Amino acid sequence: MSQQRYERERLLHPAADVLEMAGRLGRVMLTASREGATHERIGLVDRVERSGLAVRLAGAAHDAEIDIAALGAVILDRSGRMKDKALPRLDFQDRDGAALFSLVGLDGLEPFDAGLAELRGMIADAAAPAEPMERTDVAEGDPGSLPFEAARRAGLPVTIELQRQGLRQAWSGTIEAVKPAMGFINVMQPDFHLHLRAGSVASWRTGEDGAAGDDLELLAENAQGEATGLVVRGPAAALGKP
């Protein structure tokens, strides 16, 4: 007898075991947010590499390192939709039950469920409603856009990384366009999206890893001078010092 499936399930498996299924789910988007920045990698997971307490999702479309010691429950949510397309997701929580990151299935429900068929779950509570977000227009010269515009003009490859407790995710490539829209600064590539809320970055500080040779590392800071976890690395000729 097959197991009854629920719209939302709390999986009865360690988060690391669930992550090892990532390569079976078809195209996925790993999306993580911190301090106004949402960092998304999009495509097939070619390799899942596990070493001690670390799991790495790797390949042409993914570059994420996850500390499994920081992970708590995993919620399988089948309710997501965009128009007529199902967008199932795995929501990975931290030890306190807060959202850490999600894997969203982009090829529909069938391949997603097939990839997770051997996992079991119990019914989970309904998701809390999303809090309404105040939308702010992107001001001309918003500090958040400066390194991305500089890299676009230079036409040189850079790395855009998001760091938060338990997760580091990066993308490297040449920025084709920087588009302000809907209150966000957007960098949109086929395998990567960055959505940076207007006004969330007050300045960029040169990191310690950016002092060697011709490379530069820039750390985004909020209005209180605190690092937000958004990092840009690349040749000084691409980034300059905003």
Range from 15-24, 68-77, 203-212 carrying the lowest mean pLDDT: 203-212
% of the chain at pLDDT higher than 70: 90
Q: Rounded to an integer, what distance in angstroms lies between the CA atom of residue 177 and that of residue 194?
A: 11
Q: What is the CATH number of the domain that holds 187?
A: 3.40.1570.10
Q: Rounded to an integer, what distance in angstroms lies between the CA atom of residue 170 and that of residue 157?
A: 13
Please check whether residue 136 lies inside any domain of the structure: no
Q: What is the mean pLDDT of residues 83-95?
A: 93
Q: What pLDDT is stored for residue 4 in this prediction?
A: 62
Q: What pLDDT is stored for residue 209 in this prediction?
A: 63
Same structural domain, 118 and 149: no
Q: What is the mean pLDDT of residues 213-227?
A: 92
Domain of residue 184 covers: 143-239
Residue 220 has pLDDT above 60, yes or no: yes
Q: Residue 138 contacts by C-beta under 8 Å, 6 or more apart in sequence? A: 145, 180, 181, 183, 184, 185, 198
Same structural domain, 43 and 147: no
Q: What pLDDT is stored for residue 183 in this prediction?
A: 93
Please check whether residue 201 lies inside any domain of the structure: yes
Q: What pLDDT is stored for residue 212 in this prediction?
A: 55
Q: What is the mean pLDDT of residues 106-118?
A: 93
Is residue 51 within 8 A of residue 74, CB to CB? The reply is no
Same structural domain, 101 and 12: yes
Q: What pLDDT is stored for residue 138 in this prediction?
A: 86
Same structural domain, 119 and 147: no
Q: Rounded to an integer, what distance in angstroms lies between the CA atom of residue 204 and that of residue 217?
A: 9
What are 187-199's pLDDT values in tens digits? Answer: 999 999 999 999 9
Residue 177 has pLDDT above 70, yes or no: yes
In the three-class reduction of DSSP (H, G, I as helix; E, B as strand; rest coil), residue 70 is classed as helix
Q: What pLDDT is stored for residue 1 in this prediction?
A: 36
Please check whether residue 118 lies inside any domain of the structure: yes
